């Protein structure tokens, strides 16, 4: 699996969802530029050191950010006020990507989960 697989996934997504997810991809890669791009559970995912730290998907009436852990979103209750979410899925509008700042917080929370709540520095 590779970036080409994410390209193929996005090619099948109608507008405006496609453009929004393409921007999400750019923002994720700005935060973790060396992330491996792949498909996980039939959805685009981004891995660091072999572990998925972020993903996204298109659904009928919304888009979703997927941290691939049920322990991430609860760490950011204040930042996620107003968003619809499940234990492991953050829903957002089909025409408005999440901010880079929020994506960074979500990825940092996932890295803390992966590293036993240790500190993870955002790559520069």
Please compute Rg for the chain using Cα positions: 13
Domain count, the chain: 1
State phi, psi for 25 to the nearest 5 degrees: -60, -45
CA 58 to each of CA 53, 94, 107, 108, 120: distance values in angstroms, whole numbers, following the listed order: 18, 8, 19, 23, 29
Q: Flag whether 118 is in a domain.
A: no
pLDDT tens digit at each of 124 positions of the chain: 589 999 999 999 999 999 999 999 999 999 999 999 999 999 999 999 889 999 999 999 999 999 999 999 999 999 999 999 999 999 999 999 999 999 999 999 999 888 874 545 555 4
Q: Flag whether 79 is in a domain.
A: yes
Q: Flag whether 8 is in a domain.
A: yes
What CATH number is attached to the domain comprising 83? 3.90.1150.200
The residue segments making up the domain with residue 108 are 3-113
Specify the pTM: 0.90
Q: Comparing C-alpha atoms, which of 64, 17, 9 is closest to residue 38?
A: 9
């Amino acid at each position: 699996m590779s970036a080409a697989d994410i390209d193929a996934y996005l090619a099948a997504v109608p507008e405006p969802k496609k453009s929004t997810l393409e921007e999400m991809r750019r923002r994720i890669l700005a935060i973790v530029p060396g992330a491996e791009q792949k498909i996980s559970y039939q959805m685009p995912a981004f891995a660091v050191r072999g572990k998925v730290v972020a993903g996204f998907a298109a659904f009928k009436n919304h888009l979703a950010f997927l941290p691939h852990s049920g322990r991430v979103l609860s760490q950011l209750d204040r930042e996620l006020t107003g968003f619809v979410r499940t234990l492991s899925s953050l829903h957002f509008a089909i025409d408005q990507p999440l901010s880079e700042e929020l994506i960074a917080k979500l990825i940092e929370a996932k890295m803390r989960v992966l590293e036993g709540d240790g500190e993870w520095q955002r790559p520069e």
